[in-house]
Amino acid sequence: MASKIPRVVFKNGASIPMLGLGTWNSPPGQVAQAVKNAIEVGYRYIDCAHIYENEHEVGEGIAAKITHGNVKRDELFITSKLWNTYHQPDKVLGALLVTLRNLRLEYLDLYLIHWPMAYREGDDLFPLRPDGKRVHFSDVDYIDTWGAMERLVEAGLVRNIGLSNFNSRQVQRVLDVAIISPATNQIECHPYLHQAELTEFCHGKRIIVTAYSPLGSPARPSAKQTDPILMEDPVVQKLALKHAKSAAQVLIRYQIQLGHVVIPKSVNRGRIVSNADVFEFSLDADDMQQLAGLERGGRTCPESFSFGHPHHPFEGELRKARR
């Protein structure tokens, strides 16, 4: 199956598989096996982050497959992300080295600034204020963080660098100072939240969009019983029936046809296999239009702990939506 997963090319000529395994919110104790399963069935892209607190398990799975000869390191594409408490330029290298140690790797293929907001530096990943609703902020500007990210590439510890959850204005600020342009902007993207203006902006700047939560993140910790479930949407269900595919396969295929890299998460071997079985069918123009028509601004990952931060990427958008 690995040969069936197409790749897209970054501005610098490097390439990334269009489909990868996401690891956010994966149950502890199951991540290593999920990574092993994914590699066994042909995945070559694994998406990680320090804040997921499971990179040691991801590393265990990767190491097992390399040791057993199932895959070579240079056949894999491994991404991780710099967490908000490490934006201070002199902390970036140390944060990366922790990630590399946990992943049992000598380099990353892609390292992202996870969010544009900096949190107070320290060991607490969410340095909450006394009210327990917001974090203590740091005044570090992500522009300064970007310079430290570029030095990681120069040191050979990272092959590509990029952004995550940045709005178009913030992406442009980075482009204005960048020696090394961002390879990708990883953002929440699914039919309930297309972020069409942002994706168009990124495409225009030759920045690849990576779509997280492509299935609408139904198992997210913040989900309420009254929230709409994307995979149960009548339009999605109708298209799944039309193509004799699952709702998840339709939604993953949708992102691929939009030209996005997509990283669905699962620890279930059957779903890991099924999620990759999306290259033998296509959605037609009418299918694409129907899915585009589901837009409702349904953001599932607002990072509400950061409301009030001057670099929060979409607090203003969410405030307007509540009116």
Task: Report, as residue numbers or ranges, the catalytic residues.
Answer: 52
Please state, in angstroms and as integers, the Cα–Cα distance from residue 176 to each residue in 115, 153, 165, 169, 291, following that order.
18, 19, 18, 11, 34
- Nearest-angstrom CA–CA distance, 279 and 24: 24
For 177, 265, 278, the CA distances from 19, given in Å and listed in that order, are: 30, 11, 10
SS3 147: helix
Nearest to 103 by CA among 141, 145, 155, 65: 65
CB 24 within 8 Å of CB 165: no
Check if the beta carbon of residue 170 is closer than 8 Å to that of residue 198. Answer: no
Task: Convert 76-114 to b/e letters by CB count within 10 Å (16 or more is b).
Answer: bbbbbbbbbbbbbbebbbebbeebbebbbbebbbbbbbb
C-alpha distances in Å from residue 50, one per residue of 85, 109, 140: 11, 15, 19
The answer on whether 114 is annotated among ligand-binding residues is yes
Annotated binding site: 114
Annotated binding site for substrate: 114
